[in-house]
Amino acid sequence: MGGGGGGIAKETLVEAALRVLNTADPFEKARLGDEVANKWLKGEIAAPYNDSVDIPVPDRPARLANVKLVSPSEMPKLGKGGSLQSRQAIVHSLVHTESWAIDLSWDIIARFGKQESMPKDFFTDFVKVAQDEGRHFTLLAARLEELGSFYGALPAHDGLWDSATATSKDLLARLAIEHCVHEARGLDVLPTTISRFRKGGDEKTAELLEKVVYPEEITHCAAGVKWFKYLCQRSKTPVMASDSSVPEKSELEEAKTTENVDDEVTQKFHATVRAFFRGPLKPPFNEGARKAAGFGPQWYQPLAVKDFSTE
């Protein structure tokens, strides 16, 4: 990994994340985020944070004021992709979501990485998520312009950041709500969105969503599930037993232990979502994509309203 040397201290990943969060222009935010991500992944940024320096994280990242914000209930209907106007509205909504997803990814690194003493892999996973979100934003914003519109042409809401504010002191809650509820909901609805663009004759947007955004969003949910499980297991075993005196478990005992741990993790997930998310989760669920992200129906079905339409 990259070395230090004398003179000016090299920028840490958390310091770089704060530069991204404090960049107001979303296109520049995405470009800078990509640059920081590449430096981290190449080892040119070596340290995740400085142990002796605490840097405050802004309550709200810098944002331009060119997007008119309304409450979710006041958002105009997006339509079903049959008209150009509807396709513009859907892509605009996706661009806005991706702009916040960039901030959320850098915020989780800056706000929780040092505070929770997270391992290096945590930083790497969310750097990759941040880089993906920046790419999604840039590609979708360019596609929106090809459709004859631009980011800021329509109103948007900031529900995603409201959830970030509510979970700003609890990493477990942040992972559960942003990655295992909101992003998983994206997996549930994206296939319908893709088919609507196809039916509307917009193969280019359908391809972008199907080949780039959709598969990468599965990995983002997977990061949320992975680190939620990690925190649950770490809280039970702060120091991993490493001495050879621990007796070997039989495969049956091992399976029972794994089952008990899985039960405890899903129960913790249910309790966290009920505490931080209003209302039930909405079916139908994209079980295949959710399974690919590492969580089965036992995670989300108990949190769902009963769907009578399937009976």
Range in 5-14, 139-148, 175-184, 226-235 the model is least confident about: 5-14
Range in 96-105, 198-207, 258-267 the model is least confident about: 258-267
| Mean pLDDT in residue range 179-193 | 94
Which whole-number Å values give the CA distances from 284 to 59, 161, 193, 274, in the listed order? 34, 25, 14, 19
pLDDT in tens, 106-121: 999 999 999 999 999 9
Predicted confidence (pLDDT) at residue 157 exceeds the cutoff of 60: yes
| Mean pLDDT in residue range 78-83 | 74
- Mean pLDDT over each residue of the chain, to the nearest integer: 86
pLDDT band at 160 (very low <50, low <70, confident <90, very high): low
Predicted confidence (pLDDT) at residue 252 exceeds the cutoff of 60: no
Predicted confidence (pLDDT) at residue 215 exceeds the cutoff of 70: yes
Percent of the chain with pLDDT over 70: 83
| Mean pLDDT in residue range 251-268 | 65
- The domain limits of the chain are 13-236+253-303
Q: Residue 138: its pLDDT value, please?
A: 98
- Cβ atoms of 12 and 50 within 8 Å: the answer is yes
Predicted confidence (pLDDT) at residue 82 exceeds the cutoff of 70: yes
pLDDT in tens, 19-28: 999 999 999 9
CA-closest candidate to residue 186, choices 311, 106, 93, 302: 93
Q: Residue 2: its pLDDT value, please?
A: 40
Range in 127-131, 146-150, 258-262, 286-290 the model is least confident about: 258-262
Predicted confidence (pLDDT) at residue 74 exceeds the cutoff of 80: no
Which whole-number Å values give the CA distances from 247 to 91, 182, 200, 253, 257, in the listed order? 57, 42, 62, 12, 14
Task: Give me 307's structure tokens.
Answer: 């769907």
Predicted confidence (pLDDT) at residue 76 exceeds the cutoff of 80: no
